[in-house]
Chains A and B, each alone.
Chain A
Amino acid sequence: MKIARSLFNGGLVAYTALFFAFIYIPLVVIAVYSFNANPVNMMTWTGFTTEWYAQVLGFKTKVSESALYIESTGQLLQAVWNSLVIAASTTAIATVFGTAIAIALYRFEFVGQRFYRVVMFMPMLMPDIVLGIALLIFFVNSGIKLGLTTIIIGQCTFLISYVFIVVSARLAGMDRTLEHASADLGANEWMTFRRVVLPQLFPAIVGGALLAFIISMDDLVITYFIAGVDVTTLPMFIFSMLRRGIKPEINAIAVMMLTFSFVVASLGLYLRSRQK
């Protein structure tokens, strides 16, 4: 019995190791092969090079003079810039709105709280494509020209929910005796909010904002439908490259995006989980 149990436990640990391997080994593979010098077959190792990175970052390389040159470095940089502008704007709007709803739901009593909660969870459950086409129909019918503005508005509709969830989790777990103490000691509501509630809430707000930023940077589906013809974001750029054919430069772009997402998301998740 004892042997059977330790065998079972060993199997479970091995299974979990495989589980993490399944998640992370593909990402390690792409990181390694992004340094592969082989320009034709990306998965046959022929030597180490940093050329693809140099290429993407706009340096002059041997490739840029050869036939394999990717002509679209300018487009790529434009796409990165668009993504950053969109992410910065949506994060600002979504953070304010998401925090406002969270505070309203957790510090006030009013009719319709359930309704707001349902609305906040809807974007999480709906398939992206449904919201994407609904927004497309709406924008075209209301005569708003598709472009940066429509992308920013469209992304906000679901990013508000992400900020709301992070901030409201913190509000629900907060010790309210501190607020009562502050009120008992003579601070008015605004003072209590600014000096007691906000400092406790701040890590969650920043965490929610960072996660919103990274989700905005990575969003493909909704943006794809409401971007119009003139604006391309970074995920859209990669999506269209994948449909046209793969070049080694995508590897380098992908690894840079992964690194960026990992750093920002780690910071956001850390701030979200911090309880003190």
Chain B
Amino acid sequence: MSIASRRRFQLGLLLGPVSAFLAVFFLGPLAIMVVTSFLAPGLYGGVEWTFYPHNFGRILGFADPMFEEFDPIYIAIFLRSIEIAALTVLATLLVCYPAAFCIARLSERWKNFCLFLITLPFFTSLIVRLFVWVLILRQTGLVNEALLSTGLIERPLDLIYTKGAIILGMTYVFIPFMFMPVYASVEKLDWTLVRASLDLGAGPVRTFWRIILPLTAPGIAGGAVIVFIPALGNFVVPAVLGGAKVMMFGNLIEQQFLAARNWPFGAALAMMVMSVMLVLMIAHVVLSGRRSAAAALAR
């Protein structure tokens, strides 16, 4: 066997099985979901093989006039989910950004230890981490018990099952997602530019807005994208901390699949989340491409 054909054989051996696996069980299901979102729901939970754009119509305003009515509730829940996801991005950024500056200045050993401490919770059970917040926030939870016993309040506050509780829970869960990209760009920050700006007479505030923030913007943008997308589609956090009171898009999708049994509609809802994700990804790629082009020109 020639070297080239032997290499090709080795490559086939490495990639063949896993490619088949991913094509059938990963790309295949995603393609089927896309198709399903355009099919008509059957009477008893199945699908009918006819082209049916009204699944999206039910969400966006052109519902099937025969069977369904357009209900603005879906778009309202969608917008609320976007709002909650955006506030989560903001909260994680406020929590992570200053800490990244502090940790970036530590010695190598402490730095690694801090990064380890931040990554570790990512590998602990999501449901356990949320459960902790249930114990803290609920009517008979830690905060209410403490406030009641000190006499600051007379009856328990409604902390859990609110939008705030969801944002708090999401922030807690998504900290590592935001911290890592932000930290990567803060660590790379060229401090000579900051010193130059200060020497040339710009005040600390101006230096922050004109030098530090633009230079760390790629990390912030990266963190924002990878927090926003899973936050938008999340259904566990609202299920545990939002209860039945504050519903998000993820809960709606779950309902369509496990309770209402309208799979095409559920698939269409999921496609809404996917489309937001695609728009964000494309924007991110285009913007960071433009940024690196500008950086190349500046050199």
Contact residues, A106-141 vs B (CB, 8 A): 108, 110, 116, 119, 122-131, 133-138, 141
Quick check: which of B50-58, B68-76, B132-140 contacts chain A, the rest being far away? B132-140
Interface range on chain A (Cβ under 8 Å from partner):
35 or more
A221 in complex: contacting residue of B124, B236, B258, B277, CB < 8 Å: B236
CB of B32 closer than 8 Å to a CB of A: yes
A261 in complex: contacting residue of B22, B101, B125, B136, CB < 8 Å: B125
Contact in complex: B14, A156 (CB < 8 Å):
no
Contact in complex: A157, B235 (CB < 8 Å):
no
Contact residues, B110-146 vs A (CB, 8 A): 112, 114, 116-121, 123-136, 140-142, 145
Residues in A neighbouring B281, C-beta threshold 8 A: 125
Q: B28, B142, B240: which has the most chain A beta carbons within 10 Å? A: B142
Contact in complex: B18, A97 (CB < 8 Å):
yes
Q: Nearest A residue to B142 by beta-carbon distance? A: A43
Residues in B neighbouring A151, C-beta threshold 8 A: none
Residues in A neighbouring B229, C-beta threshold 8 A: 125-127
Contact in complex: B140, A127 (CB < 8 Å):
no
A214 in complex: contacting residue of B123, B130, B141, B145, CB < 8 Å: B123
Contact in complex: B32, A26 (CB < 8 Å):
no
Contact in complex: B133, A104 (CB < 8 Å):
no
Contact residues, A234-276 vs B (CB, 8 A): 234-235, 238-239, 242-243, 246, 250-251, 254, 257-258, 261-262, 264-266, 268-269, 273
Q: B26, B116, B257: which has the most chain A beta carbons within 10 Å? A: B26
Q: B33, B239, B267: which has the most chain A beta carbons within 10 Å? A: B33
B131 in complex: contacting residue of A127, A134, A160, A250, CB < 8 Å: A250
A269 in complex: contacting residue of B101, B119, B240, B277, CB < 8 Å: B119
CB of B196 closer than 8 Å to a CB of A: no
Q: Nearest A residue to B235 by beta-carbon distance? A: A129
Interface range on chain B (Cβ under 8 Å from partner):
35 or more
Contact in complex: A138, B32 (CB < 8 Å):
yes
CB of A42 closer than 8 Å to a CB of B: yes
Contact in complex: B26, A119 (CB < 8 Å):
yes
CB distance from A49 to the nearest CB of B (A): 17
Report Cα–Cα, A221/B233, bound state, in Å.
11
CB of B213 closer than 8 Å to a CB of A: no
Residues in B neighbouring A46, C-beta threshold 8 A: none
CB of B219 closer than 8 Å to a CB of A: no
CB of A100 closer than 8 Å to a CB of B: yes
Residues in B neighbouring A153, C-beta threshold 8 A: 25
CB of B270 closer than 8 Å to a CB of A: yes
Residues in B neighbouring A33, C-beta threshold 8 A: 135
Contact in complex: A23, B14 (CB < 8 Å):
no
CB of B167 closer than 8 Å to a CB of A: no
A262 in complex: contacting residue of B102, B120, B141, B263, CB < 8 Å: B120
B175 in complex: contacting residue of A23, A135, A234, A251, CB < 8 Å: A23
CB distance from A156 to the nearest CB of B (A): 7
Report Cα–Cα, A179/B155, bound state, in Å.
70
Contact in complex: B131, A265 (CB < 8 Å):
no
CB distance from A8 to the nearest CB of B (A): 8
B124 in complex: contacting residue of A122, A225, A238, A257, CB < 8 Å: A257
CB of B288 closer than 8 Å to a CB of A: no
Report Cα–Cα, A266/B122, bound state, in Å.
11
CB of B7 closer than 8 Å to a CB of A: yes
Report Cα–Cα, A38/B120, bound state, in Å.
31
Report Cα–Cα, A136/B32, bound state, in Å.
10
CB of B151 closer than 8 Å to a CB of A: no
Known: A137-B263, A137-B267, A265-B120. A257 touches B11 (CB 8 A): no
CB distance from B226 to the nearest CB of A (A): 7
A27 in complex: contacting residue of B27, B33, B132, CB < 8 Å: B132
Report Cα–Cα, A116/B112, bound state, in Å.
31
CB distance from B260 to the nearest CB of A (A): 13
Contact in complex: A130, B273 (CB < 8 Å):
yes
CB distance from B259 to the nearest CB of A (A): 13
Contact in complex: B121, A23 (CB < 8 Å):
yes
Report Cα–Cα, A254/B103, bound state, in Å.
30
Q: Nearest B residue to A243 by beta-carbon distance? A: B239
Known: A12-B102, A134-B33, A268-B123. A242 touches B267 (CB 8 A): no
A44 in complex: contacting residue of B32, B98, B121, B145, CB < 8 Å: B145
Contact in complex: A242, B127 (CB < 8 Å):
yes
Quick check: which of A13-21, A169-177, A194-202 contacts chain B, the rest being far away? A13-21
Chain B residues proximal to chain A, CB less than 8 Å: 7, 10-11, 14-15, 17-18, 21-22, 25-30, 32-33, 36, 95-96, 98-99, 101-103, 112, 114, 116-121, 123-136, 140-142, 145, 172, 175, 225-226, 229-230, 232-236, 239-240, 250, 253-254, 257-258, 263, 266-267, 270, 273-274, 277, 281
A-B CB contact pairs (8 Å), 17 listed: A100-B15, A104-B11, A127-B229, A130-B274, A133-B253, A133-B266, A134-B29, A134-B32, A135-B25, A135-B29, A136-B257, A218-B127, A225-B257, A234-B125, A242-B131, A262-B120, A265-B124
17 further contact pairs, Cβ within 8 A, besides A26-B132, A27-B121, A261-B124: A19-B95, A19-B96, A23-B172, A43-B141, A97-B17, A116-B15, A127-B234, A129-B234, A129-B273, A133-B33, A133-B253, A133-B270, A218-B124, A220-B127, A239-B239, A242-B130, A273-B112
